[in-house]
Amino acid sequence: MPSEEISQEKLSKIRGIAFQWAADHGGSGLRGVRVVATTRDSAIRSLGGPGVSSTMDPTYFVTFEGAFSWRTRDGIWAAVLIDQKSMLAGPYTIRPPGELPDFRMEDLGAVYSLDG
């Protein structure tokens, strides 16, 4: 799926959903919050490598740096997928130091900052 331009209105909605998700998952000291429009499959492969796959559903892939603490998982980096049709937050990951994914978000499309 080619990268999609994200309007300012849509970025504002994504930001609200993303920051609410972060608050619900113990997020603090957030920085480096970025989003790219891609497919769920591309986002999942970026996180898990070529051996994993998912659907081709359009998604907003949001990543964060900061401190997260959710149930038994603490971390310094997180990502959440927001479905483009429903605008609901879905699959996510919280990663501790030493378990950060190694990918370039720019390889997925145009990247937008959601920082304040």
What are the extents of the domains in the chain?
Answer: 8-98
Residue 72 pLDDT: 85
* pTM for the predicted model, two decimal places: 0.93
Q: pLDDT tens digits, residue range 28-66? A: 999 999 999 999 999 999 998 888 888 899 999 999 999
DSSP string, the chain: -------HHHHHHHHHHHHHHHHHTT-EEEEEEEEEEEEHHHHHHHHH-TT------EEEEEEEEEEEEETTEEEEEEEEEEETTT--EEEEEEE-TT------GGGGS-EEE---
